[in-house]
Amino acid sequence: MAPLTPDTPPHTALRRIVAECHADLLKYRAIVLAGRRAIGIHQTRVALRRMRAALGLFRGAVEGPTEGRIVRALAAEAKWLAGECGPARDLHVFLTETAQEVPIEVKRIAARLAKLHYDRARTALSGARYNAFDGQLTAFVEAAPAAPPTEPSDRLEDFGRALLVQHHAKVERRGQHLKSLDHEELHRLRIAIKKLRYAAGFLRPVFASEGAKAYIEATTRLQGALGAMNDRAVAGRMLDDIAVAARPTENVEEALRRLAKQAASGDKRRRQKLQQAWKQFKEAERFWRA
């Protein structure tokens, strides 16, 4: 696939990015359908999230209401499919990264849940709705117009600079008074930084700047720190699911209380890491500046 350049039309850039994400989706979907390796679900979700981000970020690059409807429809299907894969990934992360010393009786219940979640993901990735989505992706990529840019705004460099300025500013607004933000406000900040990180990654080849790597690393650290803050909420959902799935003969109430207490601990440490990541983000060079 041809690399993105400053003169690439934005609508062409969108199709190239979607094609790359589609190839990743096909690769990791095959792993999910073949077994229960964690990397399959994880990378399938990454491909879908990157695709959805590109479709949203570059929506203004497509022309006409028909193209706009296609882009919105593809983004909606990518969101649905990622959602069908989400429970399997969230449970795996909780058991392997968030929780420590999970009791065997809880692991047995989680194993049953994991099978259900993987079956749900496989059904979504092999059904008629997925097949239609796959065909729509192929058609969208292959329908790329070949006309060269005629206006400065038709150049990816100009389109991308405006996009990065907009989303960087949005993150700064969301992050004001960071120390006092509640869970919902931190969630909105996490979504904003995720979009900015994807935008910076997509557009990095367009700007010949040595600062791009450091900037993207700063956005990645900030997103990771915000993700750690979100772990408590995800852990709560996982523990609720395990409690509901427990059989009458499986008395795990005390074990789940211990795990809930464990997940809730360390908030001060996570807040400190978030503050440090925010400071590094604010200091990072904005590599797209002319």
Copy the structure tokens of residue 220: 């990645």
Taking CA atoms, 281 is separated from 171, 195, 244, in Å, by 10, 14, 41
Q: Is 66 a residue whose pLDDT tops 70?
A: yes
What is the pLDDT at residue 141?
Answer: 94
Of 275, 270, 281, 289, give the one whose Cα is nearest residue 216.
Answer: 281
Q: Is 254 a residue whose pLDDT tops 60?
A: yes
What is the pLDDT at residue 210?
Answer: 86
Instruction: Break the chain into its structural domains and give their ranges.
Output: 10-144, 152-290
Non-local CB neighbours of 229 within 8 Å, separated by 6+ positions:
183, 186, 190, 270, 271, 274
Concatenate the DSSP letters of all residues of 118-130 into one string: HHHHHHHHHSHHH
Positive/negative CA dihedral, 94, 181, 184, 176: negative
Q: Which CATH architecture has domain 152-290?
A: Alpha solenoid (1.40)
Q: Where are the alpha helices (DSSP H) in the chain?
A: 10-34, 38-57, 64-93, 104-126, 128-142, 156-174, 183-203, 211-245, 253-264, 267-283
For 179-232, the pLDDT digits (tens) are 999 989 999 999 999 999 999 999 999 998 889 999 999 999 999 999 988 888
> Where is average pLDDT lowest: 86-95, 141-150, 167-176?
141-150
For 81-126, the pLDDT digits (tens) are 999 999 999 999 999 988 888 999 999 999 999 999 999 999 999 9
Give dist(CA 51, CA 127) in Å, integer: 20
Backbone angles phi, psi at 110, to 5 degrees: -60, -35
Residue 67: CB atoms within 10 Å:
17
Average pLDDT of the residues of the chain: 93
Q: List the CATH code of the domain at 10-144.
A: 1.20.1440
Q: Tokens 């983004």 map to which residue? A: 75
Share of the chain above pLDDT 70, in %: 96
Residue 268 binned pLDDT confidence (cut-offs 50, 70, 90): confident
For 273-284, the pLDDT digits (tens) are 999 999 999 999
Residue 148 binned pLDDT confidence (cut-offs 50, 70, 90): very low
The pTM of this model reads: 0.91
What is the pLDDT at residue 74?
Answer: 98
SS3 label, residue 194: helix
